[in-house]
Amino acid sequence: MGLRARLIVLVAVVLLSAFGAGGYVWQVRQSQAQVQAAASPVPVRDDPAAVRAAPHLMFRSTALGTGYGKVAMTPLSDPDGPRVLTDASCERVYATRAQTICLSAERGLLTVYRAQLLDAGFAPKLDLPLTGIPSRARLSRDGTLAATTSFVSGDSYANPGEFSTRTVISRTGGEVIGDIEEFPFYVDGRLVTAIDKNLWGVTFADDDRFYATAASGGRTWLVEGSIAAGRVDALREDAECPSLSPDRTRVVFKKRGDLPPGRWRLAVYDLATGTETLLAETRSVDDQVEWLDDGQVVYGLPRIADNGAATSDVWRVPADGSGAPQVLVHDAWSPVVVR
Amino acid sequence: MYVTLRDRPGSDTPGRTVGRRVSSTVLLLGTVSLLTDVSSEMVASVLPLYLTAVVGLSPVAYGFLDGIYQGVSALVRIAGGYAGDRGGRPKWVAVVGYGASALSRIAMLPAQGFAAITAVITTDRLGKGLRTAPRDALIAASSDPAMLGRAFGVHRALDTFGAALGPLVAFALLAAVPGSYDSVFLVSFAFALVGVAVLVLFVPNLPTAVGAARLGVRRMVAEVTGARLRRPLLAAGLLGLVTVGDGFLYLTLQDRDDFAALYFPLLFVGTNVAYLLLAVPMGRLADRVGRARVMVAGHGALLACYLLAAAPGGGLGLTVSVLLLLGVFYAATDGVLPALVAKLVPAGARGSGIAAAQTMVVLSRFVSSVAFGLLWSVAGSATAVLVFAGALTAGIPIAWWLLRRVDAEPAVDVPAAATPDGRADGES
């Protein structure tokens, strides 16, 4: 092929690539605009004070269009009804009546992640330590403790598998207690010193005790920890992202069992008897589950919308293994029940 | 037939470019790398968000994929180097490598499950492993041996520029079409496709084994493990063993410094910018004062880096200094190593020789990572860094002793006109 012919082919490839990719992006943009314009926007209400006054559900709104990514609230009496949209944008949200913990990503030339405590009016009042991609967030019931988990990943081709989570507990007054990975971790009374140890997904029992996931060597454990004692102990194997029931008798978590990597089943573990119950949800759930009440749990599941955009819904399922999962709130993610 | 042949050392019309600038083949390969790196860094920068937010992977699954992302390419590097040498036509091995990575972008569109995504990422990294050594052999084959450092410097600068551009393109796209990761994958594919087109259409299919009999596995092994390469390989492995991965250094910085903690992603960019700016000057310096000397001195910058990172207290100035020094280290080693090795092996084994050296670095750094992680968990980050600083202090003079004669050694298999004499003719 002569130079001229090769130049022509290159120009053809460049044009094809530019118009092909550009056209696709343009078409996605058009259809997103269409969805926003045409699709019934989620019904919105405008009385945040009234919703906050009663027990309510808080979540990240994933309805396409205005309000995407904003923190929203609906009353527990009508969870899938009109939602209050707040000004806060969070990837992950958790809350008590007085305050909200918000893990956010400021996407830009460089994506910067933040963990902030917001006051009752959703104004930032404290920056919490966070490094990396936001993953989990929890507050203790009395609102004095906050825990955040993020993915931290070093970046070097030379370091296969260099990856870890950072799970930091702080007092909401501002004191940072630290990375719970530094707490000694015991399995059957034996200290685990493995280098690949990781902890994540905290759920608080009171203002000292907490449950979390520990992982090492491809195994995971449900662990119980104490801030005062500064240690964590394994309770049982194969459990991730625990969440303690309101009556503090059971923990719901994701378990691998014999499923392939990246798939989980939800199970409830009775802390007193040690019995485990698989829930009726058979789809893979990767979320830190929340308790709707002592009888039901709620969790987010991703969904591909009609136009191909990624969104999600919040589902509920009975905590005793009976029944079938049902959608609790459409276009929602990261649910938290504020009683 | 190929216009670019003119710029090859030893080819006709030596008056214009030879000796002054790097050959057009190096610029073309740099362009291919730039486009491909825009493509791969676009995906790499959104991948964590995509996998955790859209696909919904948890830490364990994500860590597994991350490991694949980092590890797979080391395994096929030698195969790529050997395939390029054995066929004597490294370009086509490089085309297969770049092509596989390009195709993996488009395969991200339908890939939804964990297994599918793992397969796609593996393909991409196999492609990267396959193409690296034959591409470096092509750079060596098209360059004046006296200017290899500069040639690799120019290539790595273009490559790094693409890597810096990729995330910008990706996040600009996500700002324009929120949540449409498919758009990111498709645009990434378009960049990769143009890169492959430039490679196929314009990079000359330089035979690396000019006139020589092609080498069988046994000869190849003999060449790669032979006396001339043994000491550089040992030195590369030794230095790799005392090199802490930059990820760990960043973690050390963020452990003590609020700025580093909040702007963690900026740390990678800071190092990249320093590398980008210094790659060519360091390459030229290596050509002038000796590649082994610059490579060893680069590890001196790394040592300074460790000491600053382990210092108690700190602040913005210290963090920026660490990133700068890390950039100096990469500029003084990443492109300089193949330049150093290329001279020591006959053209017919060049890809294998370069691949052997790079694999040595990757494997020894893997061992050092594991050791460093262990030390970190037992003794804390500052102590771990200081221990490695001590090991590096001992390693540098040994490496220098191993490499002491390399700069002075004459190149093997150099076409007559491309010797320094030939270059002098070109300049007259």
Chain A residues 34-63 with a CB less than 8 Å from chain B:
none
Q: Which uninterrupted H or E stretch holds B368?
A: helix B350-379
Q: Any CB–CB contact under 8 A between A162 and chain B? A: yes
Tell me if B173 sits within 8 A of B38, measured CB to CB: no
User: 3-class SS at A198?
Assistant: strand
Nearest CA in chain B to A63: B179
Which tokens sit at B323?
Answer: 């990133």
Tell me if A335 sits within 8 A of A293, measured CB to CB: no
pLDDT tens track for B357-400: 988 888 888 778 778 877 876 777 788 889 999 999 999 999 99
**pLDDT at res. B61:** 63
The mean per-residue pLDDT over the stretch B239-263 comes to 74
Across the interface, whether the CB atoms of B181 and A198 are under 8 A apart is answered: no
pLDDT of B210 above 70: no
The mean per-residue pLDDT over the stretch A160-177 comes to 75
- Mean pLDDT of all residues in chain B? 80
pLDDT of B307 above 50: yes
**pLDDT at res. A181:** 83
Nearest CA in chain B to A179: B255
Chain A residues 190-209 with a CB less than 8 Å from chain B:
193, 195-198, 200
Across the interface, whether the CB atoms of A159 and B60 are under 8 A apart is answered: no
- Choose among A32, A161, A240: nearest Cβ to B71: A161
Across the interface, whether the CB atoms of B54 and A21 are under 8 A apart is answered: no
- For residues A335 and B31, give the distance between their C-alpha atoms in angstroms, rounded to a whole number: 47
Assign residue B314 a region (left: φ > 0; alpha: ψ between -120 and 50; beta: otherwise): left
The mean per-residue pLDDT over the stretch A261-276 comes to 89
User: Using a CB-CB distance cutoff of 8 angstroms, which residues of chain A are in contact with residue B113?
Assistant: 262
> Alpha carbon of B383 to those of A335, B300, B320, B375: distances in Å?
42, 19, 21, 8
> Alpha carbon of B150 to those of A63, B28, B54, B338, B339: distances in Å?
53, 15, 43, 11, 9
Q: What is the pTM assigned to this prediction?
A: 0.68
Angstroms from B357 CA to nearest CA on chain A: 14
**pLDDT at res. B158:** 94
Which of A87-96, A199-208, A298-307 has the weakest average pLDDT?
A298-307
pLDDT of A159 above 70: no
**pLDDT at res. B328:** 95
pLDDT tens track for A7-37: 999 999 999 999 999 999 999 888 878 776 7
- For residues B225 and B228, give the distance between their C-alpha atoms in angstroms, rounded to a whole number: 8
Chain A residues 54-113 with a CB less than 8 Å from chain B:
64, 68, 91, 105, 107-112
Across the interface, whether the CB atoms of B71 and A153 are under 8 A apart is answered: no
- Choose among A160, A164, A198: nearest Cβ to B366: A160
User: Using a CB-CB distance cutoff of 8 angstroms, which residues of chain A are in contact with residue B197?
Assistant: 9-10, 13-14
pLDDT of B68 above 70: no
- Greater confidence (B414 vs B164) lies with B164
Angstroms from A82 CA to nearest CA on chain B: 24
**pLDDT at res. A55:** 94
pLDDT of B15 above 50: no
Q: pLDDT-based confidence at B423, cuts 50/70/90? A: very low
Question: Packing angle between helix B59-87 and helix B24-49, nearest 10 degrees?
Answer: 160
pLDDT of B20 above 70: no
User: Using a CB-CB distance cutoff of 8 angstroms, which residues of chain B are in contact with residue A151?
Assistant: 48, 52, 59, 62
Across the interface, whether the CB atoms of B67 and A161 are under 8 A apart is answered: yes
Q: Which of A79-88, B256-265, B416-425 tops mean pLDDT?
A: A79-88
User: Using a CB-CB distance cutoff of 8 angstroms, which residues of chain B are in contact with residue A195?
Assistant: 370, 373-374, 376-377
- For residues A189 and B287, give the distance between their C-alpha atoms in angstroms, rounded to a whole number: 60
**pLDDT at res. A160:** 33
User: Using a CB-CB distance cutoff of 8 angstroms, which residues of chain B are in contact with residue A200?
Assistant: 59
- Greater confidence (A313 vs B408) lies with A313
Angstroms from B168 CA to nearest CA on chain A: 5
Cβ neighbours of residue B153 closer than 8 Å, sequence gap 6 or more: B279, B280, B281, B282, B283, B284, B286, B331, B335
Of the candidates B83, B31, B404, the one whose C-alpha atom is nearest the C-alpha of residue B234 is: B404
Which tokens sit at A175?
Answer: 């004191």
User: Using a CB-CB distance cutoff of 8 angstroms, which residues of chain A are in contact with residue B254?
Assistant: 131
Of the candidates B165, B194, B169, B163, the one whose C-alpha atom is nearest the C-alpha of residue B184 is: B169
- For residues B24 and A49, give the distance between their C-alpha atoms in angstroms, rounded to a whole number: 68
Q: pLDDT-based confidence at B1, cuts 50/70/90? A: very low
The mean per-residue pLDDT over the stretch A110-129 comes to 83
pLDDT tens track for B119-147: 888 888 889 889 999 999 999 989 888 88
pLDDT of A155 above 50: no
Which tokens sit at B388?
Answer: 């490695």
- Greater confidence (A162 vs A258) lies with A258
Across the interface, whether the CB atoms of B248 and A308 are under 8 A apart is answered: no
What interface predicted TM-score (ipTM) does this complex get?
A: 0.75
The mean per-residue pLDDT over the stretch B142-160 comes to 92
Angstroms from B410 CA to nearest CA on chain A: 31
Of the candidates B256, B33, B225, the one whose C-alpha atom is nearest the C-alpha of residue B139 is: B33
Type of residue numbered A9:
V
- Choose among B53, B193, B369: nearest Cβ to A17: B193
Across the interface, whether the CB atoms of A163 and B62 are under 8 A apart is answered: yes
Q: pLDDT-based confidence at B6, cuts 50/70/90? A: very low
- Choose among A68, A197, A262: nearest Cβ to B114: A262
User: Using a CB-CB distance cutoff of 8 angstroms, which residues of chain B are in contact with residue A114?
Assistant: 262
pLDDT of B254 above 80: no
Nearest CA in chain B to A105: B49
pLDDT of B405 above 50: yes
pLDDT of A195 above 70: no
Q: Which one-letter DSSP state was computed for residue A1?
A: -
Which of A71-80, B43-52, B88-97, B168-177 has the weakest average pLDDT?
B43-52
pLDDT of B159 above 50: yes
Nearest CA in chain B to A107: B171
pLDDT of A179 above 90: no
Which of B82-91, B167-176, B213-222, B419-428 has the weakest average pLDDT?
B419-428
The mean per-residue pLDDT over the stretch A165-170 comes to 84
The angle subtended at Cα B270 by Cα B266 and Cα B275, nearest 5°, is 145
- Choose among B56, B113, B266: nearest Cβ to A302: B56
Q: pLDDT-based confidence at A162, cuts 50/70/90? A: very low
Chain A residues 310-329 with a CB less than 8 Å from chain B:
310
Which of B39, B43, B45, B58 to mutate against chain A (most A CBs within 10 Å)?
Answer: B58
Torsion of CA B402, B404, B408, B414, to 10 degrees: 20
